[in-house]
Copies of this chain bind each other. A is one copy, B any other.
Amino acid sequence: MTGIVLDTATKRRTARNFRSDPISEDTITYILETARQAPSGSNTQPWRFIVVTDPEVKMKVRTTAEEGEQAFYETLPPERAKWYRKKGLSPNKPHLTDAPVLLVVLGDTAAPNWKPSVWVAIGYMLLAVEEQGLATVTYTPSDPEKVRVALGVPENFEVQTVLPIGYSADDKAKEERLPLEELVFMNSWGNGTG
């Protein structure tokens, strides 16, 4: 059985390198319109978005994000730090200035069940980004408070992710997924489908 949603989900892979080519305002609106349609607990729509295109603001987001990552990396146990290095991950987040647009997604911490709702909307956005031929990475800052303050966001909102949006310049293959047989049980835990 095939369909566009599964095709889009399957094709989608994370990018951490972006071409500097600009992307149209219409495309950004398309992605945000998709998020806006998501369901939320009691329909509170606990999401807000900051579209960052100003190079100075992108740099500010990157700098504050990297400060948070630096502090986080210093707390890592040695093997974990090694694993991160092996994955090519580091406190440097050049994609936060390389991508033409950043979409900062905020969650209203006063709303019931706000976090699941916001992340459903982010799931919607990831598919919309892919459908538009663009790429992103769901970057979650290690210290979201720093980024919140840098953007003048009120205290009752929490930065959930900063999505750099652009054309991918990443040729890394999609990471492998576990087969359904290892993920799915019938009627109770342990009762496999494999």
Contact = CB atoms under 8 A, between A and B. Distances in A.
A8 B5 contact: yes
Contact of A37 (B9, B50, B87): B9
A41 interface: yes
A173 to B, nearest CB: 12
A127 B5 contact: yes
A42 B88 CA distance: 12
Nearest to A33: B6
Given A52-B187, A183-B45, A39 B138 contact: yes
B50 A189 contact: yes
User: Which among A34, A42, A193 has the highest number of chain B CB atoms within 10 Å?
Assistant: A34
Given A33-B6, A50-B189, A45 B177 contact: yes
A180 interface: yes
Nearest to A193: B51
Nearest to A11: B37
A120 B53 CA distance: 25
Chain A residues touching B, range? 35 or more
A73 interface: no
29 contacts: A1-B27, A3-B30, A3-B128, A6-B33, A6-B34, A9-B37, A9-B38, A9-B128, A10-B37, A12-B37, A14-B39, A32-B180, A32-B183, A36-B183, A43-B175, A47-B183, A48-B185, A50-B189, A51-B184, A51-B186, A51-B187, A57-B187, A57-B188, A115-B116, A116-B161, A120-B120, A120-B126, A121-B123, A123-B123
Interface of A: 1, 3-6, 8-10, 12-14, 26-27, 29-30, 32-34, 36-39, 41-43, 45, 47-54, 57, 87, 113, 115-116, 119-124, 126-128, 131-132, 138, 140, 151-154, 160-161, 175-178, 180, 183-190, 193
